[in-house]
Amino acid sequence: MNLTATQHTTTTSDQRVREFRPLPAPEQLLAELPLTPELAATVRQGREAVRAVLDGVDDRLLVVVGPCSIHDPDAGLDYARRLAAVAEEHSEDLLIVLRAYFEKPRTTVGWKGLINDPHLDGSHDIEAGLYAARRFLIAAGELGLPVATEFLEPISPQYVADLVSWGAIGARTTESQIHRQLASGLSMPVGFKNGTDGSLQIALDACAAAAAPQSFLGIDGAGRASMVRTAGNADTHLILRGGSAGPNYSPADVAAASQALAERELNPRLIVDASHANSGKNHHRQAEVALELAAQLESGTEGADILAGIMLESFLVGGAQAHDSANPGPLVYGQSITDKCMDWEISAGVLTVLAQAARSRRNAS
């Protein structure tokens, strides 16, 4: 193991830090695992397509779909290959983006994702995790799939963001100034979840803050601490994920959220997450929520045009399995180790219904 300890010269700082382990600079990873012109074209087209759907210029439905987290890149790519075929099949009605989440926010403690702990054993080999995430994004991009991820902290994007077409800031970090600043400089459209308590206000504030130019501390491609000055992100939007008081995907909730966005001169079109607090983290319920959203699209009611996209948590095998120091393995192939996911067959069925609903919405307009 390549350990480099920093010599501490003061007796008052880093008293609770056990180790500093330098990481390769972002530009080193990008040189070893480059963004080829073909991948760059896929990412650019993905971003433009997402932007067009969010702005209502493209009347397809955006569907961000995939595992809650990528813990086994082989299983994730197995899933991505199946999804690429379905994305092609529904490409007239759905803009399918692969959910590839490598960083997990935790309510308290738990596995924090492939970047933080790629060997799933508490060794926290972040260098290997960064390589694994980048390799996965390249392989998914080579399938022609645009990719979505959550950005959880301000350093990792320098290593992977060039391969991402849609970004999310999660419910636990939407209120954070650090994440809003980060989103203001990201090159792709970024959605902000409402808060875990259901608060819309923090997400509205986040969209406005990230749309503005910001100056803050970050790192550059060489890994140097830098002052980062951004232009602001013109493609911020809201993701309704429900909250502690219950779901928020009903036509009335969607219309109220859209109106609140319009009053702030933010994009009134939004994404609904069928998982998380909108389904009580129950993957069976998630499929029902997705079907209810399909019915909303077909209904021609006010909410139908506001719905730009839907998020689904889906993997090869349904549900989730425990994975922590008390349950170290072996793991079921293709089953989530974080939130429960719909299985592949149910997911494919839901995507077919959503494609039909998006087509009906188009025909009705």
Ligand X SMILES: O=C[C@H](O)[C@H](O)COP(=O)(O)O
Ligand Y SMILES: C=C(OP(=O)(O)O)C(=O)O
Among 34, 110, 213, 246, binds ligand X (CB under 6 A): 110
Q: Is 106 among the residues that bind ligand X (CB under 6 A)?
A: yes
Among 180, 237, 241, 359, binds ligand Y (CB under 6 A): 241
**Choosing among ligand Y, ligand X, none, which partner's interface includes residue 171 (Cβ < 5 to 8 Å by kind)?**
ligand Y
Q: How far is the CB of 315 from ligand Y (least distance, A)?
A: 13
> Which range binds ligand Y by CB under 6 A, 167-175, 182-190, 290-298, 351-359?
167-175
Among 233, 296, 338, 347, binds ligand X (CB under 6 A): 338
E strand or H helix that includes residue 82? helix 73-89
Residues 271 and 192: their CA atoms lie apart, in Å, by 10
Q: How far is the CB of 3 from ligand X (least distance, A)?
A: 29
Cβ closer to ligand Y: 51 or 193? 193
Cβ closer to ligand X: 246 or 300? 246
Torsion of CA 18, 24, 29, 32, to 10 degrees: -130
Residues 66 and 164: their CA atoms lie apart, in Å, by 14
Site for ligand Y in 53-92 (CB under 6 A): 68
Six token digits for residue 129: 């995790």
Q: How many residues bind ligand Y (CB under 6 A)?
A: 10
Q: Is 174 among the residues that bind ligand X (CB under 6 A)?
A: no
Q: Is 171 among the residues that bind ligand Y (CB under 6 A)?
A: yes
Q: Is 99 among the residues that bind ligand X (CB under 6 A)?
A: no
Q: Is 340 among the residues that bind ligand Y (CB under 6 A)?
A: no
Residues 251 and 261: their CA atoms lie apart, in Å, by 15
**Choosing among ligand Y, ligand X, none, which partner's interface includes residue 106 (Cβ < 5 to 8 Å by kind)?**
ligand X
Cβ closer to ligand X: 11 or 107? 107
Nearest to 357 by CA among 307, 283, 302: 307
Q: Is 105 among the residues that bind ligand Y (CB under 6 A)?
A: yes
Nearest to 91 by CA among 361, 313, 364, 359: 359
Q: Is 70 among the residues that bind ligand X (CB under 6 A)?
A: no
Q: How far is the CB of 104 from ligand Y (least distance, A)?
A: 7
Six token digits for residue 206: 């986040």
Residues 131 and 72: their CA atoms lie apart, in Å, by 13
Nearest to 329 by CA among 111, 147, 16, 142: 111
CB atoms within 10 A of CB 189: 26
25: left (phi over 0), alpha (psi -120 to 50) or beta: beta
Task: Please state, in angstroms and as integers, the Cα–Cα distance from residue 207 to each residue in 153, 224, 274, following that order.
Answer: 17, 28, 21
> Which range binds ligand Y by CB under 6 A, 118-126, 170-178, 220-228, 260-268?
170-178
Among 62, 64, 68, 94, binds ligand X (CB under 6 A): 68
User: Which residues are CB-neighbours of 346 under 8 A, at least 6 positions away?
Assistant: 287, 314, 318
Q: Is 101 among the residues that bind ligand Y (CB under 6 A)?
A: yes
Sites of contact with ligand Y (CB under 6 A) = 68, 101, 105, 150, 170-172, 193, 241, 276
Sites of contact with ligand X (CB under 6 A) = 68, 104-107, 110, 276, 338-339
